[in-house]
Chain A
Amino acid sequence: GAVVSQHPSRVICKSGTSVKIECRSLDFQATTMFWYRQFPKQSLMLMATSNEGSKATYEQGVEKDKFLINHASLTLSTLTVTSAHPEDSSFYICSAKGDSYYGYTFGSGTRLTVV
């Protein structure tokens, strides 16, 4: 149990375009979802926390207008990178947490390359 599906796994986009990344909890209700970013050879940095039906809470230094997060249902959260630039190229990974147990389930990550 506790599976999170994240896609796409890889995406290459042109500078200036927007990219949407989906994170779905397949067999549990994810009341909270977290979005992390990881640059090469670095650690995971939390970008934002989203609770179903409410606005996401962004970490300091993360641009809300650039990284749009939507958590419209208990099984789906999306991260949209708007007007992407090469410096946004990174590994993005989501994590979902349900109420039934204190644990986190991570998606498999999305490698975004902006050219």
Chain B
Amino acid sequence: AQKVTQAQTEISVVEKEDVTLDCVYETRDTTYYLFWYKQPPSGELVFLIRRNSFDEQNEISGRYSWNFQKSTSSFNFTITASQVVDSAVYFCALSESTTDSWGKLQFGAGTQVVVTP
């Protein structure tokens, strides 16, 4: 079963619009970590954020913000006032703490964000 679901395949916005990327995860562990990565066309993965399961505080970093809700198993990501440079594929990922899963990142399918001028 897919552990990380990113239902939005592609989102297109015009520059300066806000865009929210959804991420729903599934785990039985009480200790786990959630991540967001950006993958521009060049291919490298750019780390954006890591959240552990015990920290439900929302986080803001510049134009980026994250909403972690354990009650709905969601870890959504919002880009405020989008820019063309935000165009990329964004991945949500989960790392669980069970012995055979420890350290492995399970990625969602990714959401392609296209920002047009």
Chain B count of residues within 8 A CB distance of the other chain: 18
Residues of chain B whose beta carbon lies under 8 Å from any beta carbon of chain A:
33, 35, 37, 42-45, 47, 50, 91, 103-110
The answer to whether A43 and B108 touch across the interface, beta carbons within 8 angstroms, is yes
A44 touches which of B33, B42, B103, B107 (Cβ 8 Å):
B107
The answer to whether A93 and B33 touch across the interface, beta carbons within 8 angstroms, is no
Determine the distance from Cα of A44 to Cα of B107 in the docked complex, in whole angstroms: 6
Q: Does A13 contact B (CB under 8 A)?
A: no
Q: Which residues of B contact A93 (CB under 8 A)?
A: 43, 45
Minimum C-beta distance from A29 to chain B (A): 15
Taking CB atoms and an 8 Å cut-off, the chain A residues in 39-55 that contact chain B are 42-46, 49
The answer to whether A97 and B91 touch across the interface, beta carbons within 8 angstroms, is no
The answer to whether A32 and B103 touch across the interface, beta carbons within 8 angstroms, is yes
The answer to whether A108 and B43 touch across the interface, beta carbons within 8 angstroms, is yes
Q: Does A77 contact B (CB under 8 A)?
A: no
Of B45, B50, B105, which is in contact with the most chain A CB atoms at under 10 Å from its CB? B45
The tally of CB-CB contacts under 8 A between chains A and B is 46
Residues of chain A whose beta carbon lies under 8 Å from any beta carbon of chain B:
32, 34, 42-46, 49, 91, 93, 95, 97, 102-109, 111
Determine the distance from Cα of A109 to Cα of B50 in the docked complex, in whole angstroms: 21
Beyond A43-B110, A91-B43, A93-B45, whether A104 also contacts B91 by CB under 8 A is no
* A–B Cβ pairs within 8 angstroms, 9 of them: A34-B104, A34-B105, A43-B107, A49-B104, A91-B43, A93-B45, A104-B35, A104-B105, A108-B44
Q: A44-B91, A46-B104, A109-B43 are in contact. List 18 more A-B contacts (CB 8 A).
A: A34-B104, A42-B109, A43-B91, A43-B107, A43-B108, A44-B45, A44-B105, A46-B105, A49-B103, A49-B104, A93-B45, A103-B50, A106-B44, A106-B45, A106-B47, A108-B42, A108-B43, A109-B45
Q: Which residues of A contact B107 (CB under 8 A)?
A: 43-45
The 7 closest A-B pairs by CB, nearest first: A106-B45, A108-B44, A109-B43, A43-B107, A44-B107, A43-B109, A43-B110
Minimum C-beta distance from A105 to chain B (A): 8
